């Protein structure tokens, strides 16, 4: 993270936020198992606790 000018607590928060993410898919009433997310960043809607 030093490469991007981010250090300390901020760098640790970003790393924690973007690592060990998983997702499930619901299709026709069937839920998949957890799968790791290996790329990308969360959309703002996913971060909104009031979104449905």
For residue 6, being part of any structural domain is answered with yes
For residue 18, being part of any structural domain is answered with yes
DSSP string, 1-52: -GGGT--HHHHHHHHHHHSS-EE--EETTEEPPPEE--S----HHHH-TT--
Domains of the chain: total: 1
Domain with 32 in it: 2-47
For residue 52, being part of any structural domain is answered with no
pLDDT at 14 over 70: yes
pLDDT band at 1 (very low <50, low <70, confident <90, very high): low
For residue 9, being part of any structural domain is answered with yes
Query: Which has the higher per-residue pLDDT, 26 or 49?
Result: 26
pLDDT at 50 over 60: yes
For residue 32, being part of any structural domain is answered with yes
């Amino acid at each position: 993270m030093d490469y991007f000018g981010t250090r300390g607590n901020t760098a640790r928060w970003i790393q924690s936020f973007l690592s060990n993410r998983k997702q499930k898919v619901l299709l026709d009433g069937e839920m998949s198992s957890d799968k790791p997310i290996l790329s990308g960043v969360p959309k703002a809607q996913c971060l909104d606790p009031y979104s449905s």
